[in-house]
C-alpha cells in the first residue's frame, strides 16, 4: 500500500476582504489587510526582511474557507509610512505593533506564521505574548545571532556563491571589507545618495540571488526595484547592526526553552544558505514540542515545492486541530 501523502499546493489567489491603516506611534502608521473567512481561525502572517513588506501570495498558504488571514507591512516598508524610516523601528516596536493590531481587529488569540526574519519576529512575539499565541508555523529559522550574521553577510556563504558574493562586495572598498555590516550601514544611513543606492542594490541582490537552491538566476524581480531595495537594505542593515535589539546573543533560544507545550511546526531547507539549518536544529532542541521538517531539496525560498508542501500541510493540520477545540 502506498501511504505517501498527496503533495500540498498553494491555495488560489484571493482578494482581501478589507484593509486599513493603524497609527502605532507619533510617526509610524501601518498598513494591514484581512482576507479569507471572517469567522475563521485567526492567523497573522509576518513578512521577512525586516523591510521586505507583505505580498498577496502570503495569503495562499491558508485555506480561505477556514482561516481569517491577517497580513501587514511592518514599520518603514510596503504601504506603511513613513517609507524606509529607521527611527522608532526596533524589534520591540514591531512586537508592540502586533499587539495593537490584534486588539484593533478584535482577535483573542492567533496562529503566528513567519519565515526568515518573520520567524525571528514570531519567536519574539511568542516569548512576550505566549497567552495570545495559538501556535507557531515557522520557515527558514533566523535567530539573529552574531554567528548567523557573520555567516551570510561577512564570509561563510561566499564559499557557495562566490559569483554573487563578488557582486555584493562591489560597492565596498577593500580596506572596509573586514566589517561588511558596518561598511554597508555607513552608506545606507549616510547622506551620499549615489552611495546609498549602490549599497542598497548590492545588499538586496545578494540576498535575492541566494534565496533559491537554483541560485542567482532565480532572483525575484522585486530585487531590481530601487524603492523596494532601499527600504529592504536600510531596515535589514539597521536591525543587524543593532544585533536585533536583543539584550544578549542567543536570547531567542533561551526564550524558546520556556515555550513548553506551545504547538509549532518548523520547516527548513537543508541547503538554505541564507539561514543555515543549524539554527532550526538548535531551536528544535530548545523547544522539543515543535515538529521540525527538513526539506531535502530546498534552499531558503518559501516558494520551493517541498517547503510549500510542508507549510500548507502545517496550516491544514492546525485548522483541523483548532476547529475541533
Q: What is the pLDDT of residue 2?
A: 47
Tens digit of pLDDT per residue, the chain (325 long)? Answer: 445 778 999 999 999 999 999 999 999 999 999 999 999 999 999 999 999 999 999 999 999 999 999 999 999 999 999 999 999 999 999 999 999 999 999 999 999 999 999 999 999 999 999 999 999 999 999 999 999 999 999 998 999 999 999 999 999 999 999 999 999 999 999 999 999 999 999 999 999 999 999 999 999 999 999 999 999 999 999 999 999 999 999 999 999 999 999 999 999 999 999 999 999 999 999 999 999 999 999 999 999 999 999 999 999 999 999 997 6
Which residues form the catalytic set? 116, 272, 300
State the pLDDT at residue 325.
61
Is residue 171 within 8 A of residue 197, CB to CB? The reply is no
Which CATH entry fits the domain spanning 18-145+245-324: 1.10.230.10, 3.40.50.1820, 3.40.250.10, 1.20.140.10?
3.40.50.1820
CA atoms of 112 and 134, how far apart (whole Å): 8
| pLDDT score, position 275 | 98
Cα distances (angstroms) measured from residue 29 to each of 82, 92, 124, 264, 294: 7, 16, 21, 30, 37
The backbone region for 177, taken as left when phi is positive above 0, alpha when psi lies in -120 to 50, beta otherwise, is alpha
pTM value? 0.97
The full set of domain ranges for the chain reads: 18-145+245-324, 146-244
- What gap in Å lies between CA 269 and CA 94, rounded to an integer? 27
Nearest to 13 by CA among 49, 53, 58: 58
Question: Is residue 287 within 8 Å of 100, Cβ to Cβ?
Answer: no
**What is residue 274's predicted lDDT score, i.e. its pLDDT?**
98
Let me know: does 72 contact 95? Beta carbons within 8 Å.
no
Close Cβ partners of 108 (under 8 Å, ≥ 6 residues apart) = 42, 132
Of the candidates 197, 169, 199, the residue with the CA atom closest to the CA atom of residue 184: 199
pLDDT score for 156: 87
Tell me if residue 71 falls in helix, strand or coil. Answer: strand
Amino acid at each position: 500500500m502506498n501511504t505517501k501523502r498527496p503533495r500540498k499546493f498553494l491555495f488560489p489567489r484571493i482578494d482581501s476582504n478589507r484593509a486599513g491603516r493603524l497609527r502605532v506611534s507619533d510617526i509610524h502608521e501601518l498598513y494591514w489587510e484581512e482576507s479569507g473567512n471572517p469567522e475563521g481561525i485567526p492567523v497573522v502572517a509576518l513578512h521577512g526582511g525586516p523591510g521586505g513588506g507583505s505580498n498577496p501570495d502570503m495569503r495562499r498558504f491558508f485555506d480561505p474557507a477556514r482561516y481569517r488571514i491577517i497580513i501587514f507591512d511592518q514599520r518603514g516598508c510596503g504601504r506603511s509610512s513613513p517609507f524606509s524610516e529607521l527611527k522608532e523601528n526596533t524589534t520591540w516596536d514591531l512586537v508592540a505593533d502586533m499587539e495593537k493590531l490584534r486588539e484593533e481587529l478584535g482577535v483573542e488569540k492567533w496562529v503566528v506564521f513567519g519565515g526568515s526574519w518573520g520567524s525571528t519576529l514570531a519567536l519574539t512575539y511568542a516569548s512576550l505574548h505566549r497567552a495570545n499565541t495559538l501556535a507557531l508555523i515557522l520557515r527558514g529559522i533566523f535567530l539573529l545571532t552574531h554567528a548567523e550574521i557573520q555567516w551570510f553577510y561577512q564570509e561563510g556563504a561566499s564559499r557557495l556563491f562566490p559569483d554573487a558574493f563578488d557582486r555584493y562586495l562591489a560597492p565596498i572598498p577593500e580596506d572596509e571589507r573586514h566589517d561588511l555590516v558596518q561598511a554597508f550601514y555607513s552608506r545606507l544611513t549616510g547622506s551620499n545618495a549615489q552611495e546609498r543606492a549602490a549599497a542598497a542594490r548590492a545588499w538586496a541582490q545578494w540576498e535575492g540571488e541566494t534565496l533559491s537552491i537554483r541560485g542567482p538566476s532565480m532572483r525575484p524581480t522585486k530585487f531590481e526595484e530601487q524603492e523596494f531595495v532601499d527600504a529592504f537594505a536600510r531596515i535589514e542593515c539597521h536591525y543587524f547592526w543593532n544585533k536585533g535589539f536583543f539584550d544578549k546573543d542567543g536570547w531567542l533560544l533561551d526564550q524558546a526553552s520556556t515555550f513548553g507545550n506551545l504547538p509549532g511546526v518548523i520547516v527548513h531547507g537543508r541547503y538554505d544558505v541564507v539561514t543555515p539549518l543549524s539554527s532550526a536544529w538548535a531551536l528544535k532542541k530548545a523547544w522539543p514540542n515543535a515538529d521540525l521538517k527538513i526539506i531535502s531539496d530546498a534552499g531558503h525560498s518559501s516558494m520551493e515545492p517541498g517547503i510549500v508542501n510542508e507549510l500548507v500541510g502545517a496550516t491544514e493540520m492546525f485548522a483541523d486541530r483548532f476547529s475541533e477545540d
